[in-house]
Chain A
């Protein structure tokens, strides 16, 4: 595994070299080079915006095929709460969970269940005053990665607890080892995911050395199979064991409201997330205890691996939650070890011009000189998202001013003038 893995790949035949993804990327991590979109791996936060925006469907999310189940003797399905919102007229979550067994899984462990444990742990840690306020949710892997590259000052505000998926995988695997007597590697924990960022979170985890999740399959892959299987379920098994709070995590605001504390803010959509983080960094919010941030609009229901419109899915989650108990899962007084991060989040200064401040200053001066020479219309024809980004690429040594078509045009005009000047000279 290279130092940076990302959950997006490029279909080179489909990529037209347009700059839709380049312009959309919130960390300016994409450039068009030799007619194809390339990702600057250190900068990518796996938000999936390029996958969403690409009009040619050339940006493809990476996830595991459902056949990954065959690699294990015993398999545990870990359905995201967002999955519950994909189906029309689903009143009873048990029908869906039973259908997952019919699909071939030996066991189902709802992520909503682990979410309630994370909520309870967060409530306890906050009431103990153990966390720096405002506490920033660590559930969305794209947000955590964004903070790591762009907002170092906020790293110590990030909730040092694993996302519910990680906790669900750890708890369910431990229990299955006990129950079956199998080795941990013979048991497969398979996440049914709305989001490719979770693939990266599993392969290159933050907050731990190794993830307990063994496979990540896409909701949109499993969805058509489940539709058929759900119809075959006559009497569902009584399986569901999560309440309103856990299922609420599937859409924006769910995690925050589960803290039973009114001093929260919940923002979704990567642009909004960035604005909130900038304001947090400037200490513009003084009365906040908790900040929930989701990279996708609507929260996890807005993930690129889902099927349904996120707002429809959100409305459905609301309906499913309606007559459920508030919460079904609690921790003891002590926060379980497997819920806590076992590695620190470290700042990754990839946006810096140079690790030496003096060198960075001279590069920035050089950059400003280049910007003054460029046309300034941010056309993107050079393959960079803006003239400023091109100037930055030039001082970093990744591009030259000849990448700018306006510069080339000016040079041509110059040449033309010279030639016509010469001709004139000849005639006289």
Chain B
């Protein structure tokens, strides 16, 4: 059984300037592990989008990343308002982001679609009023 690295993060919901720190830390670890650079890029982007979403929409949350030689799994859990209509939220260009983050260049409605695009598996479990859990997997191509 090959080893796995578990990384735990608490994403603060009250400080937007710190959004993206967790995905940067994961990226650094993946580089040090020497994973395929395409895998690193996909994980970094998908996780960054998810992390930003947690801050914008859900007042932060927790991320658990499990790195193995076969795949990288990310579980992002928040206790925010939940997603009313997941199919609608997945549509490119659909966004409920507030104006203040749009001014920073966010809120283009590409977050969830990009997360789906860059990962091999993605599932969203959301209960309105309780929160959302997104699980993403990027598989490592075996040479």
Contacts and interface: CB of A to CB of B under 8 A. Distances in A.
A361 B3 CA distance: 6
Nearest to B49: A282
A364 B5 contact: yes
Given A282-B48, A362-B3, A365-B5, A357 B31 contact: no
A368 B24 CA distance: 17
A360 B32 CA distance: 8
Chain B interface size, as a band, is 20 to 34
A351 interface: yes
Interface string B2-40: 111100000000000000000110010101111101101
A354 interface: yes
B44 A282 contact: yes
A281 B35 CA distance: 15
B41 A281 contact: yes
Chain A interface size, as a band, is 20 to 34
B43 to A, nearest CB: 11
Contacts of A281: 27, 41, 44
B8 to A, nearest CB: 11
A353 interface: yes
Interface of B is mostly: helix
A278 B24 contact: yes
Among B31, B41, B44, the most chain A Cβ lie within 10 Å of the Cβ of: B31
A357 B69 CA distance: 6
B67 interface: yes
A364 B4 CA distance: 9
Interface in A354-385: 354-355, 357-358, 360-362, 364-365, 368
B41 A355 contact: no
B74 interface: no
Contacts of B3: 358, 361-362, 365
Nearest to B34: A352
Among A150, A351, A361, A364, the most chain B Cβ lie within 10 Å of the Cβ of: A361
Contacts of A3: none
A333 interface: no
A152 interface: yes
Contacts of A365: 3, 5
A363 to B, nearest CB: 9
Contacts of A360: 32-34
Contacts of B44: 281-282
A392 B40 CA distance: 20
B34 A364 contact: no
Contacts of B40: 153
Nearest to B44: A282
A153 B37 contact: yes
Given A278-B24, A282-B45, A358-B69, A351 B5 contact: no
A152 B48 contact: no
Interface string A91-130: 0000000000000000000000000000000000000000
Nearest to B68: A361
A205 interface: no
Contacts of B27: 278, 281-282
Contact of A353 (B23, B32, B37, B45): B32
A283 B5 CA distance: 26
A385 to B, nearest CB: 14
Interface string A52-84: 000000000000000000000000000000000
The 9 residue pairs across chains A and B that have the minimum distance between CB atoms: A352-B34, A361-B3, A357-B69, A360-B33, A153-B37, A362-B3, A152-B37, A358-B2, A358-B69
Interface of A: 150, 152-153, 278, 281-283, 347, 349, 351-355, 357-358, 360-362, 364-365, 368, 392
Given A352-B33, A360-B34, 7 more contacts: A153-B37, A282-B44, A347-B37, A349-B34, A352-B32, A361-B4, A361-B33
17 contacts: A152-B37, A153-B38, A153-B41, A278-B24, A283-B45, A351-B31, A352-B33, A352-B34, A353-B32, A357-B35, A357-B69, A361-B3, A361-B4, A361-B68, A361-B69, A364-B5, A392-B32
